[in-house]
Amino acid sequence: MTIHTLAGFHHRFEPGADSAAPPLLLLHGTGGDENDLIGLGRALSPGSALLSPRGPVLESGMPRFFRRLAEGVFDEADVRRRAGDLAAFVAQARAEYGLAAPVAVGFSNGANIAAATLLLHPETLAGAVLLRAMVPLSERPSVVLGGRPVLLLSGALDPIVPTDNAARLADDLQAAGAEVTHTVQPAGHNLSQADLAAAADWLSRRFAQGATLA
């Protein structure tokens, strides 16, 4: 296992075995690292290239992708800065590894930075699987997402992400022009087998022909 560094991000990269499978940008939750979602990526889209960065922000020693002021209260200036940093990392990684625009697969904090990156730097991603995401910015940026597909999987019993907040994120993304599928699972903040099955099925249907955006 080799850890690489590009644009200030420590990360893992696994080349893809199937040129028709979309590259996946794997974004972990609070306290995770570049290894956390590798197994998930392999399960969701066998054959995809996997790009998995470590969040550069530390909160009590736990890696995250941006600062927060309290649980559910984000430092929005830092969200904007870190989304720009992530976009720059993806651009360098695409050049370094010869990748098409990736589909983000993010969990919790990783899903939130993926949503922010979509809204602030839409050219970075071909789409996104947002697992337990919430609204990252209080005001939706003026952006055109041009039909980018987004799967948002929320938990009806999630103690961290209120259901109305997740619904607002779905509305924000749809208003920006994304093609949003929002499913509320009978689960909490942790992922269930139903989440994994739904994400794998969605990826295979939406990107079956390698139809990522340049």
Supply the residues annotated as catalytic. 108, 158, 189
Determine contact, residues 105/37, Cβ cutoff 8 Å: yes
First to last CA, the chain: 29
Q: Which residue in this structure is represented by tokens 């509320």?
A: 184
Query: What is the number of other CB atoms lying within 10 angstroms of the CB of residue 23?
Result: 27
From the list 207, 155, 196, 165, the residue with the least C-alpha distance to 48 is: 207
Determine contact, residues 32/57, Cβ cutoff 8 Å: no
From the list 128, 111, 119, the residue with the least C-alpha distance to 175 is: 119
DSSP state of 124: G
Query: What is the number of other CB atoms lying within 10 angstroms of the CB of residue 18?
Result: 12
Q: Which residue in this structure is represented by tokens 């749809």?
A: 174
Determine contact, residues 50/38, Cβ cutoff 8 Å: yes
